[in-house]
Every structure is written in structure tokens, then in C-alpha cells.
A and B are shown apart, each in its own frame.
Chain A
Amino acid sequence: MLGLGNPELGVLMLALFVVFIMFGFPIAFTLMALGVFFGYSALGDLVWPLLVQRTYSVMTNDVLISIPLFVFMGYIIERANILDRLFRSLQLAAGPMPGALAIATLATCAIFATATGIIGACVTLMGLLALPAMLRAGYDVKLSTGVICAGGCLGILIPPSVMLILYGATAGVSVVKLYAGALLPGIMLATLYMIYTMVMALLNPSLAPKLPDEERNVPLTKIVWGLATSFLPLAALIFAALGSIVAGLATPSEAAAMGALGALVLAAAYRSLTFTKLKESVYLTARTTAMVCWLFVGSFLFSAVFAYLGGHEPIEQFVKYMDLSPLGFLILAQIIIFILGWPLEWTEIIIIFMPIFLPLLQAFNIDPLFFGLLVALNIQTSFLSPPVAMAPFYLKGVAPAHVSINQIFQGVLPYVFLVILSMVLLYTFPQIGLFLPNYLYP
């Protein structure tokens, strides 16, 4: 076709995809169509069985089974009325610290987002709950909005997160190792956020005034009771799900199912498990799962045809021609992902663009597990940086009218730098990410 060799056709297919993605048509169908067209031109009638085989391999993929289960768990917890309690009890516990409300917000976001894995819900709920509380206490608008956005996004990094399942399925890396690997970097990033916030509150107390005395000197029993009824059950649920995966007691999908069951029990214990809420969670789970898994149907076909055409070769040659060192390549790849994060969402970056990077990793002798951890950190920025930055826009949607989107972006900016700092730390000390997986699965 067009007098082009197969590898050039592959590159053309990729280029067309990048162009068509801009037109806003559902990506799954764009991928499928380009796969069918280019597959037909190269394979003829063989493309039909290929299309069905790839579809069927998504339907029987045992890694992806955990996606609907974790999503379901998230929707149940999201509707379990747990967030109010969690925030109030963490707020009491954080009372004497500098920037207490901001710290409590970060901690609430980190644990709630980890349990639900849903960014929009965490950011909007906290926007209605924590933002008015912080503004009333005289906190700086930028600081208050920054912590909500940054904290709300931690859920896709800290395991058990759906993003790492997608990466595992795309890159053929064990999800168990990814979970073990992402745990410490995730906690490190959350800690960096908290340290930064506390330091800012200490340096400039007008950003985060001290709470009134009656909120700082709460009897210990009240704090402990508050934590025991909100923080503890949720933490136990996450710990049990994650622990059983990492310890090898259950596969990720089994742990996800137990997590979903645990979430149902938890919701029942909080007396918020009504049939309506269950029904809503079930339907939303179906839609979200369909969205993610159809993307896989499209991308499995697309990448099969792309690989058959040998579209990697010109890209590899081009990268080799640039004569990069492994470090140079790593930085280039991360910069590309960072920039892709401006217009695109993480699902698209992981499912569509990862397969293009992966063959190059081998050429540069980079561990796909380690690369995945860097990507997981990097993707955090795609939620925070304009113009698509979902977190600031969700927050703007529920914030009081006087909070402007620019203030939110300014508030988020320091946290974007902290993400980059954590990537540098992870690169310099790879053991932060590799220690646990190497120790547990030598």
C-alpha cells in the first residue's frame, strides 16, 4: 500500500492514531479501526481471526479480572459515608501539629484514595468537606487546594491501585512485584507532601494558623475512639488486601474480591449499604470496566498489528541514531510521558504508549519493573498539570466561587515539583523501589 514497506506502514499507523486522538473520538474504537485497516492491508483476511483472538484474549486475561473487583470495592467505599468520620478523627489526631488541617487532609486523601482508587470522588468530596474547614480556619487558598489535589491523586500510585494492574498487563510485569515495589515510593511521596506542608506552615504561620485551643487539646480517648472507628477499619481493609497479595496468600484478583467483600461488610457496619447504593455501584462498575477493558481490546489488536508490521524498528533505529546513554533515554522517556500527561489521561498513556516504549527498554537494559515505578510516579503529574489536570478542575467545580482555577494551579505547582523530586530520589536510590520486591521474591 502506498509503496511503503511494512515498518513504515507501522509508523504511519501510529502517526495517524496520534492525529485522530485529537479529534476526540472514543479511543478504543479508533484503535480497533486502525488495527483492522492496517491489519487488512498487511495480513489480508487473516486480520479477522486476529481481531477475534485478541478480543478473546482480553476476555480471558487473568490479570485484568482484578480491575472490576477493585473498581467495585472503590465505589462501595466511596458511598459508605466513611469520609466525614475519617477526616474528623484524623483532624483531631493531627491537632497539635503545624498545619494540622492540611496534614489531616493529606492523610485522609491518601488513605481514602488508596482504598477507592477513584480520584474524582476523593477530590470533590474533600473539596466539600475539608476545603471549607480549612478556609474557615484562615488557611491560605493555594495551600488548601494544593493539598486536596495532590493528596487525592495518591490513590493511583499507592497499591492496591488499578494503574499498576494496567501497567502489569501491558508490560508483562508481575502485578505482585509492582505492588511490592510501589509501596515505599508511594509512602515516600505522601511523606514528602506532609513534610513540605509542615515546613511551610512553620516558616509562615499565616498560611496555616493554629487551630483554637479546644480543637488542639482533645482527650486522648476521644482521638483513639475516633481513629478506631474510621481509620482503623479502612487501613485494615487495605492492609489485608495488599498484604495477602504481597505475601503470596492470594492472587491480585482474589485479594480484590476479598477487598470488595470487606468493603460491603464495612458499608453495612456503617449502616450505609442500601439496595440503591449497591445498584449504583454495580452499574458504575460495569461502565468503568467496559471503558477500560474495551480500550484493551482496541490496543491489543493495534499493538499486534503494529508489532507484525515491525513499526518498532524505525523508532528503535531513530532512538539508536540519537546515541543516548541509558540515563539519557530514561530521562527522555519520562519527559515524553510527562508531556503526554498534559493532554491525555493515564489510562491512555499506559495502555497505548507503554507498548511503544517497552521494546526500547530491553535495548537500554532497563528493568521494566523499575521503569514502571518511575512511570507510576510520573503519572501523578498528569492529574495535576494543566490543561487537562482533572484534579484541579474537579476541585474548582465544587469550590466556593472566589477560589479561581489559577489559584488552584499555583497551589498544586509545589506538589508537582515534589513528584519530580521523588522521581529523582527513586532514580538515585533504586532500592527505595526494588528493595521490597527483591527481598520478598529473590
Chain B
Amino acid sequence: MERFLFMVDELSTWTGKAFAWCILILTLTTSYEVFSRYMFGMPTSWAFDASYILYGTLFMMAGPYALSRNGHVRGDFLYRAWPPRRQAFMDLVLYILFFFPGMIALAYAGYDFAKMSWVMQEHSAASPDGPPVYHFKTIIPIVGVLMVLQGIVEVIRCVICLRTGAWPQRLHDVEELEKILIDEAEQRKQAEMRKAEVTGIARGDI
């Protein structure tokens, strides 16, 4: 069971991280377009199509990755204060009631949407020699399936938490700077308290 959990986590993380590099390509191609326009007086014909394809691929493919990091924003002013078991129970119910219907619908309807595009061999209408967009549209059903898989893993996490009363560990990954700094500050404070305790015991205060 644990192996399945981490396997899906790895899949989502790997996909998300691989496509995350789209941002670097997007930065470079868009900058190149600006240079090309002003320095060489030649706007490119592909930059606009490239930009939304890179951006769309980036955020869609990062969806399951963000889910595996619990990175989708919650209105958590009540949730945060709840004990883990209540959080897990609520999440479990809402994953089944809300998450799966939405994502299965996305995968199912996305499949038809992409299939139609492949049949028509659809090309972008945004520029004269528009590139094909059927690969791009195929991302929707793929992401739908990945989201469903990651959702199953999140449901299992909820069940584990309901049983043990604590949220299971997630894979280690890079964190936001404020979280790192706050965690470090917390550890420093605890270390100081321990030190004070030790010296207190040594001096016979405690």
C-alpha cells in the first residue's frame, strides 16, 4: 500500500517537475521574441502560440504535483485549528463528493474534446501558420487521469490519518522560503529552551 502511495506521488512529482521547466523555456522564447522585434526588426510568427502552449502545459501538468504537496489553496481559517482526524474526515467526504466527480468529468469530456481535435488535425487559429494544437488539447484528459490517481492517494492518506490520528509523511521537496525560515526559527527557539533547561538543571535551578 505504501509503495503504491509513493509510486503515485513520484509520478505526479516527476511529471510536475519535468514540465515545470517550461517556465525557463517560456522566459527565453518570449525574451527572444522581444529582442527579435526590437533588435532585428523581425517579430517571430511562433512566439505567441509557443507562449500559451508552454504556460498551459506548465500549470496543467503541475496540478497533480501541487495536489501531492497539498498545495491547492484552502479557505482554512477553521480547518487549520481542527485536530487531524476531523480534517481527514472532512477531506475524505469531500474528495469523494466533490473531487472525483469533477476530475472524472474533466478526463471524460477532455477525451472527446481531444479526440475531435485529432480527427480534424486542428491547427491554431491565432497565427497564420498556426502550429497543431491536438497534442496540447490531449493534456486535458491526461491531467484528468493523473488528478484522479493522485486523488486516490490523497483519500488513502485521509484513511491512514483517520486510523492513526496523524497525517502520514509526504515526500521531501523544496519548500517556500517563509516556511523554511519559520521552521528554522522554531528549531532555534526549542534548542535555546533545551539549553536553558540543561544549564538550569546543572545550576540546580530546576
Task: Report A-chain residues with C-beta under 8 Å of the C-beta of B181.
Answer: 124-125, 127-128, 397-398
Pick the contact of B178 from A56, A58, A123, A401 — CB < 8 Å? A123
For the complex, give the distance between the alpha carbons of A345 and B80 in Å: 14
- Which listed segment binds B: A65-73, A92-100, A106-114? A65-73
Pick the contact of B75 from A24, A52, A53, A264 — CB < 8 Å? A24
- Known contacts A29-B98, A286-B17, A293-B59; decide if A120 and B91 are in contact (CB<8 Å): no
Q: Is the CB of A287 within 8 A of B55?
A: no
Min CB distance, B10 to chain A, in Å?
A: 14
Q: Is the CB of B174 within 8 A of A280?
A: yes
Q: Which residue of A lies closest to B109 (CB)?
A: A48
List residues of A (307-350) whose CB comes within 8 Å of B's CBs.
Answer: 343-345, 347-348
Q: Which residue of B lies closest to A278 (CB)?
A: B24
Q: Is the CB of A290 within 8 A of B102?
A: no
For the complex, give the distance between the alpha carbons of A34 and B82 in Å: 24
Task: Report B-chain residues with C-beta under 8 Å of the C-beta of A388.
Answer: 77
Q: Which residue of B lies closest to A249 (CB)?
A: B38
Q: Which residue of B lies closest to A60 (CB)?
A: B52
Task: Report A-chain residues with C-beta under 8 Å of the C-beta of B21.
Answer: 282
Q: Is the CB of A290 within 8 A of B78?
A: no
List residues of A (14-62) whose CB comes within 8 Å of B's CBs.
Answer: 20-30, 32-37, 47-49, 51-53, 55-56, 58-62
- Does B168 interact with chain A (Cβ within 8 Å)? no
Pick the contact of A287 from B38, B65, B82, B109 — CB < 8 Å? B65
Q: Is the CB of B59 within 8 A of A27?
A: no
State the majority secondary structure of interface residues on B.
helix
- Does B28 interact with chain A (Cβ within 8 Å)? yes
Min CB distance, A196 to chain B, in Å?
A: 26
Q: Which of B26, B38, B90, B189 has the most CB of A within 10 A?
A: B26
Q: Is the CB of B77 within 8 A of A343?
A: yes
Q: Is the CB of A344 within 8 A of B31?
A: no
Task: Report B-chain residues with C-beta under 8 Å of the C-beta of A293.
Answer: 59-60
- Does A289 interact with chain B (Cβ within 8 Å)? yes
For the complex, give the distance between the alpha carbons of A128 and B186 in Å: 13
Q: Is the CB of A68 within 8 A of B23?
A: yes
- Known contacts A261-B27, A289-B62, A290-B66; decide if A397 and B75 are in contact (CB<8 Å): no
| Complex interface bits, B162-180 against A, C-beta within 8 A gives 1, otherwise 0 | 0000000000011011110
- Does B94 interact with chain A (Cβ within 8 Å)? yes
Task: Report B-chain residues with C-beta under 8 Å of the C-beta of A79.
Answer: 177
For the complex, give the distance between the alpha carbons of A60 and B48 in Å: 10
Task: Report B-chain residues with C-beta under 8 Å of the C-beta of A33.
Answer: 97-99, 101-102
Total contacting residues, chain B, CB less than 8 A: 73
Q: Which of B52, B62, B179 has the most CB of A within 10 A?
A: B62
Q: Is the CB of A398 within 8 A of B182?
A: yes
- Does B197 interact with chain A (Cβ within 8 Å)? no
Q: Is the CB of B105 within 8 A of A48?
A: yes
Q: Is the CB of A343 within 8 A of B75?
A: yes
For the complex, give the distance between the alpha carbons of A60 and B137 in Å: 10
Q: Is the CB of A290 within 8 A of B99?
A: no
- Does A149 interact with chain B (Cβ within 8 Å)? no
For the complex, give the distance between the alpha carbons of A123 and B26 in Å: 29
Q: Is the CB of B30 within 8 A of A253?
A: yes
For the complex, give the distance between the alpha carbons of A401 and B110 in Å: 52
For the complex, give the distance between the alpha carbons of A362 and B160 in Å: 51
Q: Is the CB of B102 within 8 A of A32?
A: yes
Min CB distance, A194 to chain B, in Å?
A: 25
Q: Is the CB of A286 within 8 A of B94?
A: no
Pick the contact of A24 from B67, B74, B101, B137 — CB < 8 Å? B74
Min CB distance, A55 to chain B, in Å?
A: 6
Min CB distance, A340 to chain B, in Å?
A: 10
For the complex, give the distance between the alpha carbons of A342 and B63 in Å: 27
A sample of 10 cross-chain residue pairs with beta-carbon separation below 8 angstroms, ordered by A number, consists of: A59-B60, A59-B136, A68-B26, A69-B27, A79-B177, A258-B31, A286-B58, A290-B60, A293-B59, A294-B72
Interface set of B (CB-CB < 8 Å, partner A): 16-17, 19-21, 23-24, 26-28, 30-31, 33-34, 38, 48, 51-52, 55-56, 58-60, 62-63, 65-67, 69, 71-80, 82, 87, 90-91, 94-95, 97-99, 101-103, 105-106, 108-110, 112-113, 136-137, 139-140, 173-174, 176-179, 181-182, 185-186, 189
